[in-house]
């Protein structure tokens, strides 16, 4: 298998990014700098950006796996097995799979896992505008000004979040729909307005709903859900918007 394809299928980057890393000398095979277009085989040892990957294990006609997990609080969305309570050991799937994106350790709800590197790129690519829906509990009453500010965009990570849909559910709970996936985005957006997040649960990614999946349980995606990952949908909120 070509090196760029193999790296992308681990889920850490796209093929284009892999090519850039190879070209700039950030990838080694068996301790030697890799060249563009090289192929890898079983047992080869790769290092990307200074981090070692597991030895190459190529599978013949590997079937694609797509899983929805209701991640509990306390599980880390990492494939690094030395990290306590990592998501790979938690789900204990017989095949090598990895999470699509992440939910931070203190958050819960829907996260997808797969062995398909190409679908990872489709889900995470910002221009695809795949919606992610969350229910969030904060530490004090929600005001109209807070909702307007969150909906219009908030300065975090030296950028500004894209406008989003948000509605108040009760005194301290709101529903928010994002198409971005910035690190700790909702928590940092809330902190900008002096709110602290007490509970955060993701309930939808595109057409895939958390539904009645209990905490810690997982299920396979059906064909319609898998195809929907590359065909984002727009679901309008019930009731009012950002005001």
**Enzyme catalytic residues:** 104
Instruction: Give the count of alpha carbons within 13 A of 125, CB side only.
Output: 15
Burial of 136 (0-12, 13-18, 19+ CB in 10 A): buried
Cα-based angle 137, 138, 140 (whole degrees, multiple of 5):
135
Query: 23-32 long-range contacts, Cβ below 8 Å, gap at least 24?
Result: 26/50, 27/3, 29/3
> Which residues, 6 or more positions from 170, have their beta carbon under 8 angstroms from its beta carbon?
none
Cβ(26)–Cβ(54) below 8 Å: no
């Amino acid at each position: 298998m070509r090196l760029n394809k193999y790296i992308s299928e681990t889920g850490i980057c796209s093929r284009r990014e892999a090519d850039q890393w190879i070209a700039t000398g950030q990838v080694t095979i068996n301790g030697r700098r890799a060249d563009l277009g090289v192929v890898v085989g079983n047992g080869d040892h790769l290092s990307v950006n200074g981090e070692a990957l597991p030895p190459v294990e190529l599978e013949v006609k590997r079937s694609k796996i797509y899983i929805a997990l209701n991640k509990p609080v306390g599980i880390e969305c990492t494939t690094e097995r030395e990290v306590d309570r990592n998501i790979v050991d938690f789900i204990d799937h017989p095949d090598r799979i990895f999470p699509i994106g992440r939910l931070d350790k203190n958050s819960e709800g829907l996260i997808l896992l797969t062995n398909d590197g190409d679908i990872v790129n489709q889900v995470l690519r910002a221009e695809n505008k795949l919606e992610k829906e969350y229910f969030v509990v904060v530490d004090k009453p929600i005001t109209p000004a807070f909702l307007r500010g969150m909906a219009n965009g908030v300065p975090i990570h030296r950028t500004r979040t894209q406008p989003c849909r948000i509605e108040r559910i009760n005194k301290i709970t709101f529903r928010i729909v994002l198409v971005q996936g910035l690190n700790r985005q909702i928590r940092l957006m809330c902190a900008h307005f002096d709110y602290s997040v007490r509970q955060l649960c993701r309930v939808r990614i595109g057409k895939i709903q958390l539904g009645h999946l209990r905490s810690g349980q997982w299920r396979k995606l059906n064909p319609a859900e898998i195809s929907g990952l590359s065909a984002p949908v727009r679901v309008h909120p019930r009731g009012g918007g950002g005001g």
